[in-house]
Amino acid sequence: MTRNHLLAGAMTLLSLLGTSAATAEPLVIYSPQGDERAVWIAERADAAGHDVTILTSGGGELFDRILAERANPQADVVLGLIDAAMATLKAEGLFQPYVPNWAEGLPEVYRDDTDRMVYKFWQTPVVIAYNSDMLAEEDAPTSWLELVEDRYAGKYVIGPTIWQTTKTYLIGMLLRFADESGEISDEGWDFMQSLYDNAIVVDSADAKTAAFVNKEAVIDLNWFGGVGRLADDVGYRAVMVDTEGGTPFIAEGIAIMEGTDQLDDAKAFVDWFGSAEFMSAYAARFGQVPVHPDAIAAAPDTVKRNATLLRPQPIDWDVVAPRVDGWIQRIELDIK
C-alpha cells in the first residue's frame, strides 16, 4: 500500500514536472458546462477537426481558478462564464482581443465593441416562477420589488451568493436603486436587508430543494432551465412571471486567454463554436437559447418562443463588474 502511494506520489511529481514541457497539446478549454454538455461539445469539436480538452467545474470555482492561475495560465479558451465574471477577467487583463467571424449581426449588448475580447453566444433569463399548485396567479408577485412584502415572508429562497444565479438577481434588484455613477442608495440597502429577512436563506442546493419539498417555499428565483428542473424534481407545476421592470438576463461569453500558445487553433475554435450551425445544433439538443439572430432562425420553434418570452432588464455589465465584489461583500458581511 505504502509503496504504491510512494509510487503514485512520484508519478504525480513527474507529471507535474511534465506539464512544463512544450509538446503539441490539445487546446485547453475551461467551461462550466456540465458533464453531458461538455462531452457533447468535445465530440462535436473533434468531428469538426478541433483537438480540445474541456475542463469543467462550477462557474464560481472555475472563475476563482482562472484568477489563481493568472501567473501561469493553463487554459487557452474560456467559454460559458457569465457577463460579470467575463468582465472581471477581462478587467484583470487575462484575455486578448479577437473578433470572431460571427460577430457581425450580433446585437450590440452581446458584442464587445470597445475591447473586442468577449463575445456572448447564448442567454438565459433569471426569473421569478411560482408553484401554481400552491399559489394563485393573482397572488403571485408581479415584480422583484414585491418580494419584501409580508405576504411573501418565508415563501422564497435565497441561495448562496457564490451561485451565478443568486448573484445575478441580487445585482438586478440592487441596480434599481443605483444612481448614474453606479452607487446604490441607502434605500436600496434597506430593501436588500428586508429581502433577506423575508426569505429562507440556504447554503446548498439540497437545502433549497428541501424548502420546496416541505412546501414552505412556493416562489422560485432561478435561471430559466433551473425552474423546470426544480419543479420536476419536487413535483409541481411552475409558472414564470414576466415581471415589471424586466428580468435580468445573463449571457455566456467566449474569449481567448492572453497567455495562450496556440492562438491560431484558439481562433479557429472560437469561430466554429459561435457559428450559427453549431449554436442551432446545441439549441436543438439542449434547448438553450442562442443570441445570434441566424442561430435563433435555425433553432427549433420552442427555442424561438423562449427567446422572446420575457422582457429583459437593461444591465451594463462593464459598469457592474468592478462593483460586484463590494456589493456581495456588503450583503455577506452586513445583511445575511
Partner 1 sequence: MRPSGISRFPLVRSALLVVVVWCAASFIYAPIFSVLRFAFAPGGDIGLGAIGELAGSRRVRTAIVNTFVVTGLSIITVNVIGIFQVAVLEYLKVGGRGFLRFAYSTPLIFVSVAAATGYGFVYGQNGTLTKLLQSVWPALPNDWFTGTLAVVFAHTFLLTSFHFLFLRAAIRRVDYSTVEAARGLGASSMEAFVRVVLPVLLPTIFATTLLVTYKSLGSFAIPSVLGGRRFDMVTELILTLNSLRRPDMAAMLSIGLGLAVILCIAAMQYVERRGSYVGGSKTPVPIERIRIASPVVNLAVHAAAYAIAVIQLVPIALVVLFSFAPARSIATEVLPSSFTLQNYVTVFSQSTAFVPLKNSLLMGASATMAGLMISLFVVNLAHRHTNVGTTSLDLSFMAPWILPVPFIAIGLILTYDEPNLLVANRVLLGGFWILPIGYAVVSIPIMMRFLRAAFFSLDPALNEAAQSLGAPAFYRFLRVTVPLVLPVMILITGMTLNVILSEYSMSAFLFNVNNKPLSIALFEGARSANPEQAAINLVYISLIMAFSLGIITLADRYGLGGGK
Please say which residue, 63 or 98, places its beta carbon nearer to partner 1.
Answer: 63
Shortest CB 203 distance to partner 1, Å: 7
Please say which residue, 203 or 244, places its beta carbon nearer to partner 1.
Answer: 203
**Residue pair 205/159 in contact by the 8 Å Cβ criterion:** yes
**Residue pair 272/48 in contact by the 8 Å Cβ criterion:** yes
Shortest CB 120 distance to partner 1, Å: 25
Query: CA–CA separation, 1 vs 216, rounded Å?
Result: 50
Shortest CB 321 distance to partner 1, Å: 13
Shortest CB 96 distance to partner 1, Å: 20
Cα 42–chain centre separation: 20
Please say which residue, 185 or 204, places its beta carbon nearer to partner 1.
Answer: 204
Cell 445573463 belongs to residue? 250
Shortest CB 200 distance to partner 1, Å: 8
Shortest CB 72 distance to partner 1, Å: 5
Please say which residue, 132 or 209, places its beta carbon nearer to partner 1.
Answer: 209
Query: CA–CA separation, 206 vs 54, rounded Å?
Result: 27
Query: Which residues are paired to 79 by β-bridges?
Result: 254
Q: Is 196 helix (H, G, I), strand (E, B) or coil?
A: helix
Please say which residue, 103 or 210, places its beta carbon nearer to partner 1.
Answer: 210
Please provide the DSSP assignment of 104-157 as one string.
Answer: TT--GGGS-TTT---EEEEEEEEEEEEETTTS-GGGS-SSGGGGGSGGGTTSBE
Shortest CB 35 distance to partner 1, Å: 11
CB count, 10 Å around CB of 288? 21
Instruction: For the chain, state the CA radius of gyration.
Output: 21
Cell 472563475 belongs to residue? 63
Please say which residue, 47 or 333, places its beta carbon nearer to partner 1.
Answer: 333
Please say which residue, 2 or 23, places its beta carbon nearer to partner 1.
Answer: 2
Query: CA–CA separation, 119 vs 83, rounded Å?
Result: 10
Please say which residue, 74 or 302, places its beta carbon nearer to partner 1.
Answer: 74
Shortest CB 31 distance to partner 1, Å: 14
Q: Which residues bind partner 1 (CB under 8 A)?
A: 2, 5-6, 8-9, 12, 16, 57, 61, 64-65, 68-72, 162, 201-204, 206-207, 209-210, 325, 328-329, 332-336
Q: Nine-digit cell at 261? A: 500558445
Q: 83-91 vs 164-175: helix axis angle to the nearest 10?
A: 90
Shortest CB 201 distance to partner 1, Å: 6
Query: CA–CA separation, 256 vs 158, rounded Å?
Result: 33
Please say which residue, 142 or 209, places its beta carbon nearer to partner 1.
Answer: 209
Query: CA–CA separation, 59 vs 33, rounded Å?
Result: 9
**Sign of the torsion angle spanned by Cα atoms 265, 101, 318, 336:** negative
